[in-house]
Amino acid sequence: MNKSTFVYVTFIRTTPERLWSALTTTDFIRKYWFGMTCESEWKVGSQWKLSFEDGRVADRGEIIEADPPRRLVLKWQNEWKPEMKAEGESRCTFEIEPVPDLGTQAVKLSVTHGMERLDSKFIQAVAGGWPSILSNLKSLLETGEIVLQSSKRNDK
Amino acid sequence: MKQPDLLFKALADPSRRKLLDRLYANDGQTLGELCEHLDMARQSVTQHLELLESANLLATRWRGREKLHFLNPVPLQAIYERWLSKFEKPRLRALHELKRRLEGELQ
C-alpha cells in the first residue's frame, strides 16, 4: 500500500455469484464499462485485456489471483498512453463480501487499485473512472439499466 | 438511518468535510496523520471517521499495524447522478458564474 492507491467501496443488492459473473463476463462488462471489451479466461496466470470499441487496446495484464466468488487480483498496465505505459504495472484487487446485516441479499464490493510509485499519472487517470463504472455496475445489477452512457475517458 | 440520510448527515458537518478534503489531497492516511494540523481532539476525529465510514464515504485498509483511511468517492457519484446531473448543468454553470462575478465585483 502506498500513496498511489485508491479504494472504492459499493454495496450492491445481488449475490456474490452474480457479481462475480458480472465482473468476468465480456458481454456484461461492456454494458457498464461504456462499451469497452474486456477479455480473459479469468484463471490464475491468464492474460486479460481491455479494448476500445474501435479495437485499440487500452489496458492489459495478468490474473494473479482468482477465487470465485470472493477475490480477483489483476496486474494492470496501461497500453494506450506512452507516459502511463512507462509507469509499469499497477495492481487491482476486487473483493466481494456478503453483507447479511443489510437484510435483503447484499454484497460489499471493494476495488483497490494502486501502483508502487508516488503520484502515478495512471492511477490518477483511472481514479476518475472507477466511481462511474461501479455506479453503472450497481445500477445494472439492481435495476437492469445503466445510468451513465458515456465516460470522460472515451471522449479523449 | 437510511444510506442517503447517513450520507447527507455525514456531509453536513464542516469538520467531516475537512477530513474528506484532507484525504482527497493525500489519500490513505493514518489517524495520527489526519490529526496533524487539525484543531480537533483525537477522539472527535475518531468519531467523525466512524460516521464517515458508516456513510460509506471512507474505506479502511490495514498496512501491518497501521490502519489507513481512504476517501471512497462512490457515494458522491450517486449524489451526482441523483441530485445534480438531472438538473440542467449549463444553466447551473451560468448561474454559478454570474454569482461568482457579482460577488467578485462587490469585494
Please tell me if residue A10 touches chain B, with a CB cutoff of 8 Å. Answer: yes
Sign of CA dihedral A30, A34, A35, A39: negative
Reported ipTM exceeds the 0.85 cut: no
User: Using 50, 70 and 90 to split pLDDT, how confident is the model at A151?
Assistant: low
Determine the average pLDDT of the residues in A81-85. 92
Please tell me if residue B29 touches chain A, with a CB cutoff of 8 Å. Answer: no
Q: Which residues of A touch B3 (CB under 8 A)?
A: 11
Q: Is the confidence at residue A154, as pLDDT, over 50? A: no
Asked if residue A144 lies in contact with residue A136, where contact means CB atoms within 8 angstroms, the answer is no
Q: Which residues of B touch A8 (CB under 8 A)?
A: 59, 72-74
pLDDT (0 to 100) of residue A97? 95
For A44-68, the pLDDT digits (tens) are 999 999 999 999 999 999 999 999 9
What is this structure's pTM? 0.84
A2 contacts B70? CB cut-off 8 A: no
In whole angstroms, give the CA distance from residue B52 to residue A134.
19
Please tell me if residue B73 touches chain A, with a CB cutoff of 8 Å. Answer: yes
- Point out the least confidently predicted range of A10-19, A112-121, B10-19: A112-121
